[in-house]
């Protein structure tokens, strides 16, 4: 496993995994969308609006999964000082922000017809909004520090501190009285959703997870290349190569 943590080996592995992941996620998402729109029934209370669930719920899971991925990478940064862990951390933040944005917007679009409001300051919605703001803060932090290893350590600390929000999001519907419904899939006693709706939901979740993994691999590969470019530019600048010098605006 650690063999692939070498950046050169990672690039070789990514060259195989990225196209494979892209094909698998496209196939799974196509099946998931077909099941969500043409096989899953309308809800007896919500009608067709329940179809928003098939995009909203996987986006919410991935918003949290992405921070969990960053937390593991942050441990790799702080404990082993591994440059690939820094790259994985940095690459995940914009993806996490995108999935959290999708979760918030689709939740709002689902809330308006069902709850009669676009937004309420209940514990679940607020804690997910906090997650989105933390993603934006993390992206800003990465951009504000030039030296990659220093930025990686600062981001790792923020990520580890921010991971306290994950159990708050998960259990907010149990700990507080919220307008948002309680867990209906990952709960003690099993899912409460009928299999005709559960399978399309799980298919979409698998498809979006495969898509996230593929995009994360691609973005991590970009970060490895960015470091390689930085190293080449420094060496070229030291050798007096004008092509490596920063261009005047």
Sign of CA dihedral 209, 107, 136, 127: negative
225 binds another protein per the rule CB under 8 A: yes
Q: What is the C-alpha to C-alpha distance for residues 247 and 85, in angstroms, rounded to an integer? A: 30
Q: What is the C-alpha to C-alpha distance for residues 135 and 94, in angstroms, rounded to an integer? A: 7
Q: What is the C-alpha to C-alpha distance for residues 137 and 176, in angstroms, rounded to an integer? A: 26
Stretch that binds another protein, among 41-49, 124-132, 162-170, 175-183 (CB under 8 A): 41-49
244 binds another protein per the rule CB under 8 A: yes
Between residues 97 and 151, which has the closer beta carbon with respect to another protein? 97
**Residue 6 Cβ, how far from another protein at the closest point, in Å?**
10
Site string for another protein, 54-83 (x = CB under 8 A): -xx--x------------------------
Q: Which of 21, 32, 40, 52 binds another protein (CB under 8 A)?
A: 52
Q: How far is CA 239 from the centre of its chain?
A: 40
- Residues 110 to 149 in contact with another protein, rule: CB under 8 A: 110, 112-113
The residue among 178, 70, 91, 198 whose CA lies nearest residue 128 is: 178
Q: Which of 170, 218, 240, 248 binds another protein (CB under 8 A)?
A: 218
Q: What is the C-alpha to C-alpha distance for residues 188 and 184, in angstroms, rounded to an integer? A: 10
**Residue 211 Cβ, how far from another protein at the closest point, in Å?**
7
Number of residues that bind another protein (CB under 8 A): 40
Residue with tokens 């419904």: 181
Stretch that binds another protein, among 126-134, 174-182, 193-201, 222-230 (CB under 8 A): 222-230
Q: Which of 81, 143, 150, 228 binds another protein (CB under 8 A)?
A: 228
Between residues 47 and 182, which has the closer beta carbon with respect to another protein? 47
Q: What is the C-alpha to C-alpha distance for residues 74 and 85, in angstroms, rounded to an integer? A: 7
Is 123 within 8 Å of 178 (Cβ atoms)? yes
Between residues 13 and 218, which has the closer beta carbon with respect to another protein? 218
CB count, 10 Å around CB of 229? 11
Q: What is the C-alpha to C-alpha distance for residues 73 and 60, in angstroms, rounded to an integer? A: 20
Residue with tokens 């999001």: 169
Two tokens, residue 38: 């043409």
Is 227 within 8 Å of 88 (Cβ atoms)? no
49 binds another protein per the rule CB under 8 A: yes
226 binds another protein per the rule CB under 8 A: yes
Q: Which residues here bind another protein, judged by CB under 8 A?
A: 8, 42, 47-49, 51-52, 55-56, 59, 94-95, 98-99, 101-102, 105-106, 109-110, 112-113, 211, 215, 218-219, 221-222, 225-226, 228-229, 231-233, 235-236, 241, 243-244
């Amino acid at each position: 496993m650690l063999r692939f943590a070498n950046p050169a080996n990672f690039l070789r592995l990514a060259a195989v995994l990225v196209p494979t992941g892209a094909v698998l996620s496209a196939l799974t998402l196509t099946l998931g969308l077909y099941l969500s729109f043409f096989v899953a029934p309308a809800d007896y209370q919500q009608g067709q609006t329940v179809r928003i669930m098939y995009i909203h719920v996987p986006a919410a899971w991935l918003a949290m999964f992405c921070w969990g991925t960053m937390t593991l990478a942050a441990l790799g940064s702080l404990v082993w000082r591994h440059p690939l862990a820094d790259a994985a951390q940095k690459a995940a933040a914009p993806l996490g922000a995108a999935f959290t944005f999708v979760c918030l917007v689709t939740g709002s679009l689902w809330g308006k017809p069902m709850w009669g409001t676009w937004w309420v300051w209940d514990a679940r919605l607020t804690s997910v909004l906090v997650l989105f703001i933390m993603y934006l803060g993390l992206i800003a932090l990465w951009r504000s520090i030039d030296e990659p290893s220093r930025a990686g350590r600062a981001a790792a600390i923020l990520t580890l501190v921010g991971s306290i929000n994950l159990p708050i999001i998960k259990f907010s519907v149990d700990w507080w009285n919220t307008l948002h419904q309680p867990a209906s899939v990952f709960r003690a006693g099993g899912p409460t959703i009928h299999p005709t709706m559960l399978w399309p939901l799980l298919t979409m979740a698998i498809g979006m997870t495969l898509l996230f993994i593929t995009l994360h691999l691609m973005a991590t590969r970009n970060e490895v290349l960015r470091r390689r470019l930085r190293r080449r530019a420094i060496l070229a600048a030291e050798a007096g190569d004008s092509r490596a010098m920063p261009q005047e605006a």
